[in-house]
Amino acid sequence: MTSLPLRPPVIVHHMAALDGRAHPNSLEAIEACLQARARVIEIDITALADGDYLLVHDPVLESETTGSGPVAACTAARARELYFARNGVPTAFRVPLLSQVVDLFTRYPGPTRLQLDFKNIYPFPDDAPLRRLVALLQPIAERVIVSSGADWQLRRLRALAPWLELGFDIQFYLAWRDPSETVDPRVPPWRRGAYGYWDDHPLATERFTSTPAYLYDRCGMLLGLVPGASTFYIDYRLLDRSLDDGFNWAEMLHAHGIRLDAWTLDADDPRAVAALPRLVEAGVDQFTTNTPDALADLLGRT
């Protein structure tokens, strides 16, 4: 595992972002990031009906592409005919398959790593889709990390491929939301706890202890969900609020040999820009962003 902490912070290109120069998750965007020698490219993957994964965020094709119906019912052959769409209007960018991304990475043997944000939250009937994923990743095994909020999927991947690097996003277990924020009723956690954080755990039902002690205990619980995880992915707003409350996630994670990624921190978001210096000072190792060039400039001045 990489020694900690990493400095300067690593910039993770969210959905292969390069400050708007190509469509998110497109093969053109990924190649542009590779040519720019990005440190880490993050993309979304969702399992197809057979043999491959599609670079989409949502479980239905019509939300992002020219197709319709569940991604899980779409074959790889049909997927090759799809284009990304914006507001229902087709773009000129085809929707890539993960196998195409792997082939592209093999043509760029530089330092760039690939983060796969695994979007299949619900367990599969069997391990076949996970085994397909492991097989697809073999050619670039040393350059890949699979991340997810679904710790149950990550534990199955750990059992199937002990060599595969894994990252855990804690968003289903603990979150910080602004009071004015619209809450999606489908996404946990579903309850604002006694400490002000969204948390369905019994420890959050009332104030049993101090806020720093509560956060310390919750972090300790989360550490056990994905044994061997190299990286935790945490909403920057949760990290910022935790610092206000006297708890530093980076400090505790580093003590366990785990890196910390703050997402999604964009240079055109005033709140994110205001939080950036203290997150760097706190020891955040990497920042996921849609504005990597502008964020690099801000980090250079932080």
Whole-structure pTM value: 0.96
HEC sequence for the chain: CCCCCCCCCEEEEHHHCCCCCCCCCCHHHHHHHHHCCCCEEEEEEEECCCCCEECCCCCEHHHCECCCCEHHHCCHHHHCCCEEEECCEEEEEECCEHHHHHHHHHCCCCCCEEEEEECCCCCCCCCHHHHHHHHHHHHHHHHEEEEECCHHHHHHHHHHCCCCEEEEECCCCCECCCCCCCCCCCCCCCCECCCCCECCCHHHCCCCCCHHHHHHHHHHHHHCCCCCCCEEEEEHHHHHHHHHCCCCHHHHHHHCCCEEEEECCCCCCHHHHHHHHHHHHHCCCEEEECCHHHHHHHHHCC
Per-residue pLDDT of the chain (302 residues; tens, 9 = 90+): 334 445 689 999 999 999 878 999 999 999 999 999 999 999 999 999 998 999 999 999 999 999 999 999 999 999 999 999 999 999 999 999 999 999 999 999 999 999 999 999 999 999 999 999 999 999 999 999 999 999 999 999 999 999 999 999 999 999 999 888 888 899 999 999 999 999 999 999 999 999 999 999 999 999 999 999 999 999 999 999 999 999 999 999 999 999 999 999 999 999 999 999 999 999 999 999 999 999 999 999 87
pLDDT tens column, 160-206? 999 999 999 999 999 999 888 888 899 999 999 999 999 999 999 99
pLDDT of residue 238: 98
Where does residue 46 rank: exposed (0-12), middle (13-18), buried (19+ CB within 10 A)?
Answer: buried
CA pair distance 15, 42, nearest whole angstrom: 5
Structure confidence at residue 246 (pLDDT): 98
The pLDDT, as a whole number, for residue 1 is 38
Question: Is CATH 3.20.20.120 the right assignment for the domain spanning 10-300?
Answer: no
Are the C-beta atoms of residues 11 and 295 closer than 8 Å to each other? yes
Q: Look-up: residue for tokens 């199937």?
A: 160
Residues paired with 70 in a beta bridge: 60
Query: What does the pLDDT read at residue 267?
Result: 97
pLDDT value at position 302? Answer: 72
What is the C-alpha to C-alpha distance for residues 222 and 110, in angstroms, rounded to an integer?
34
Residues facing 53 on adjacent strands: 47
pLDDT at residue number 35:
96
